[in-house]
């Protein structure tokens, strides 16, 4: 079984417009149009059994509507291989009741994106959400490290993550982008081995640049295979989750990148799906 733990889709009516804007800001190229239909096509082409779909709440007003849609569509999405997550915004007041609604609606977890929500991960508003989600036994997946399109500040640094671990001790805490996009040395030195999951989204190999953007990507390369392998071995392969950040990586190519590493067959099997299957309770 192969599970992509980190994907994004947008409503058909706006997906191409949204991706065009994000592609210019990040100076990187998407590999689908951002629609649910093209994600499913990509999964079939790649041999991926399930993809976790992660909404990002950029305002408190979006919380109830988007989460309600995920609850209502959960079973239909799952029948097509899409695992629906919810989300939360740090300024949403009744967060405990909303997290309980997600849990009761069969949703497995939430996504938090400090950079898009303009708040540091260690802000008390974020800490209380992570704590409340853990009380509901929900997975919490965060964007970790710098964002490729918002690179003036690191809203979710390794230091922030370690503070969350110390103060909140979340039970199912997933740090995207191998724990800190663009901060690989910090991850290898300070975060590897901590009681968190790391997902591989948009973290390994070359970045495909958008040559029409007004500036190049802030990085041309992500992790090398050597450093990726060192982090996996130090952290423990049982806490690594295969993820692509589709539409920002080609799912087929990303599976090839994992298989091109020097990890053992058993480690690759765990990373590509078995770890996620256990975490999701599938």
Q: Is the pLDDT of residue 151 over 90?
A: no
Cα-Cα-Cα-Cα dihedral sign, residues 31, 254, 200, 217: negative
Residue 14 pLDDT class (50, 70, 90 cuts): very high
Task: Supply the pTM of this predicted model.
Answer: 0.97
81-139 pLDDT, tens digit per residue, is 999 999 999 999 999 999 999 999 999 999 999 999 999 999 999 999 999 999 999 99
**How far is the CA of 62 from the CAs of 9, 56, 102, 118, 195, in angstroms?**
15, 9, 14, 16, 31
Residue 239: strand, helix, or coil: helix
CA pair distance 236, 69, nearest whole angstrom: 36
Q: Which of 208, 188, 233 is nearest to 28 (CA)?
A: 208
Q: Is the pLDDT of residue 74 over 90?
A: yes
CB 50 within 8 A of CB 282: yes
Count of Cβ atoms closer than 10 Å to residue 41 Cβ: 12
CB 26 within 8 A of CB 148: yes
CB 176 within 8 A of CB 142: yes
Cα-Cα-Cα-Cα dihedral sign, residues 154, 157, 161, 162: negative
* Pairing mode of beta strands 197-199, 240-241: parallel
Phi, psi of 20 (to 5 degrees): -60, -40
Q: Is the pLDDT of residue 220 over 90?
A: no
Q: What is the DSSP letter of 219?
A: -
Task: Specify the pLDDT at position 221.
Answer: 87
CB 133 within 8 A of CB 125: no
Residue 77 pLDDT class (50, 70, 90 cuts): very high
CA pair distance 215, 72, nearest whole angstrom: 40
235-247 pLDDT, tens digit per residue, is 999 999 999 999 9
CA pair distance 162, 232, nearest whole angstrom: 18
Q: Is the pLDDT of residue 152 over 90?
A: no
Geometric angle at alpha carbon 244, from 200 and 191, rounded to 5°: 20
């Amino acid at each position: 079984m192969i599970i992509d733990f980190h994907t994004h889709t947008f409503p058909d009516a706006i997906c191409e417009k949204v991706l065009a804007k994000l592609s210019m800001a990040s100076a990187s190229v998407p590999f689908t149009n951002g629609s649910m239909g093209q994600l499913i096509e990509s999964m079939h082409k790649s041999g991926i059994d399930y993809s976790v779909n992660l909404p990002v709440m950029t305002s408190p007003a979006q919380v109830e509507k988007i989460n309600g849609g995920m609850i209502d569509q959960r079973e239909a999405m799952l029948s097509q291989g899409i695992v629906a997550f919810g989300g939360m915004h740090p300024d949403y007041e009744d967060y405990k009741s909303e997290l309980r609604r997600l849990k009761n609606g069969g949703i497995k977890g939430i996504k938090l994106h400090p950079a898009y929500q303009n708040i540091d991960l260690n802000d008390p508003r974020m800490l209380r959400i992570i704590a409340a989600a853990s009380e509901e036994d929900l997975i919490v997946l965060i964007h970790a490290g710098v964002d490729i399109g918002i690179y003036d500040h690191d809203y979710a640094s390794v230091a922030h993550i370690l503070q969350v671990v110390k103060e909140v001790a979340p039970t199912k805490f997933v740090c995207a982008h191998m724990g800190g996009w663009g901060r690989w040395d910090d991850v290898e030195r300070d975060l590897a081995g901590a009681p968190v999951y790391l997902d591989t989204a948009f973290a390994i190999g070359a970045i495909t640049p958008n040559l029409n953007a007004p500036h190049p990507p802030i990085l041309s390369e992500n992790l090398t295979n050597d450093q990726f392998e060192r982090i996996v071995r130090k952290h423990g392969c049982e806490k690594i989750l295969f993820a692509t950040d589709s539409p920002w990586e080609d799912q087929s190519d990303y599976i090839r990148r994992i298989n091109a590493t020097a990890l053992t067959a058993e480690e690759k099997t765990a990373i590509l799906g078995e770890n996620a299957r256990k975490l999701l309770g599938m």
